[in-house]
Structure 1
Amino acid sequence: MSESFQTVRGVLVLLKTLSEGPASTHQLVSALSEAGVQRDERTVRRWLEVIREEGFGVRHSRKRHELTGSPVRIAFGDYEALATLSVLESLAQREPAYGEHLASAAKKLREAIPEKALRFADSGKIEFSLDSASDPPEDPNIIDTLRRATHRSQKARVLYYSLRSGSVRWRTVEPVRVAYVQRAHRLFAYEREESRVTEFRINRIHQARLLPDKFAPEAHRHAFEPARVRLSSNAFTAYGKAIIPDDRATIEPLEDGGAIIEGRTPSVFWTVREVAALGPDAQVLGGPELKRQLVSFLEQTLKKYE
């Protein structure tokens, strides 16, 4: 293998390694060796300088090299750039927990999209309605803490303001699900004092702290009501499986473009209102309690117009 070919291959190995994350000079030498390119640390540093001269951002900090920018562009088409940037930037303005990270991702994506596609995206920018409305505002740190608690099946203490009692007090909970329902984030958590799963509006949680104790979430999830909902093509495009606030909900695609969503809802009350809002574009196929409450809700609504 010629020396020039070895050099080209070595530079590409360095770029590939750094694209996976920061690496020390020793780690880069090892990566070259694994690829069959034997070079010392002095050569690696020289190649990194050449990479910088060609427009790649390479920063050296704390004995590690980090790739911070690249002149290479992702092969995005015009409409791919328009759709992706519009969604990311819309979410970045409204998502309370991860807005900052979404904005950072959108900025990096802008630097990687070909200039022609970027100009097209900016000329026809779409503002997606992805509001996370709540009053008072939701605390992103609390949302993040409770999401971690649900994923780890870890108990938590929340300082909660109850509208019913008008009091603020600490409550120990077993967080089962964080869901975005009816334009607000809600925590569904088991309270041993109450022997039931309680709904907490997240914008009324003043503080949230993880506890070291773990819990078994399956029994709580099993207590949620089953739900099976058929959506039209338009409704499925708009809602996806979010019509049932269940990360484990399944999707059965239908030939007409619609789908059947099946899962367990932590709140029949809210799911009834989500389904009712879709009118004839949604049909409850399963879940006796969900169907009973939906029929009752529609009957009461109809009486107001008789």
Structure 2
Amino acid sequence: MTVEATTERVLRLLALLQRRSSWTATELAAELGVTDRSVRRDVERLRALGYPVRATAGVGGGYRLGAGTRLPPLLLDDEEAIATAISLRLAAGGTVAGADEAALRALAKLDQVMPPRLRAEVRAVHGATEILVGPGIEIDAEVLVTLARACRDAVRVRFRYAGRDGAERERTVEPVRMVATGRRWYLMAWDVDRDDWRTFRLDRMREAVATTLRFRAREHPDPAAYVQRSVAAAPYRYVARVRVRASADRVRELVPPRAARVEDDRDGWCLLVAGADDLDWLAMQVARLGFEARVLDPPELREAAARLARRVAALAATG
């Protein structure tokens, strides 16, 4: 076998190890079309290049790509390289604490080695994109990485969590997915102590630690939809339901997902579900949409809308 063929096979092995957390030697041999002995030799070649390939015990043996004393080169296909470059561009103006400068450094390195055809695609996206940075809440990058790994590896996580009353309590959860909405991040997870699904704001977490206790994935709601319902309706004093004479898609263009849930309804109407502690403010926001609307509940929202109408009428009559 030529050196070129061996190098190509070793690179394929590296790509497989980066794709999944653990492989048996037999699985790798089948993927590469070689013997188990050839897999062992290729693993040694990767180790000599600085890749921390760990051997695992068990029937048939196995391998996983572990953490080393330094970060070896990553092997990215075209789609992964483009996605990584675009993500770094967004992170440079994002909400993860300390990530902006690091993201720019990483982006510069990636751009330097990226083939011209891929660099042109990434720059086309960058040239057509502006990032509007406003006030937001920064997320500890270490918390983000800890939770991402726990979601991937299906292990429980413990952390200190500050509730709306400011009191901190220890929580143990089985994480499923993180959801970013606006400039906030949320974790959807099964709360072990409360035996139910919950959402947690990452900026309220402290001392997040991934345990070694694995869990079996259970049936769960759609994470994005679940987080949207949670942040749009609870734990506010009022949960309002308003019919709006417009398509759901049109209203979604005007209402951010973190502020309300918009559902399709009949006869050209949609249903807006939003939580609020101040109904006067909510009445004003619904009026600002500019569509015909009917309050289903609570009745107090109708009273708030009547107050708003009187104030606007009085304003129009002055002069």
Normalization by structure 1: what TM-score? 0.48
Normalization by structure 2: what TM-score? 0.46
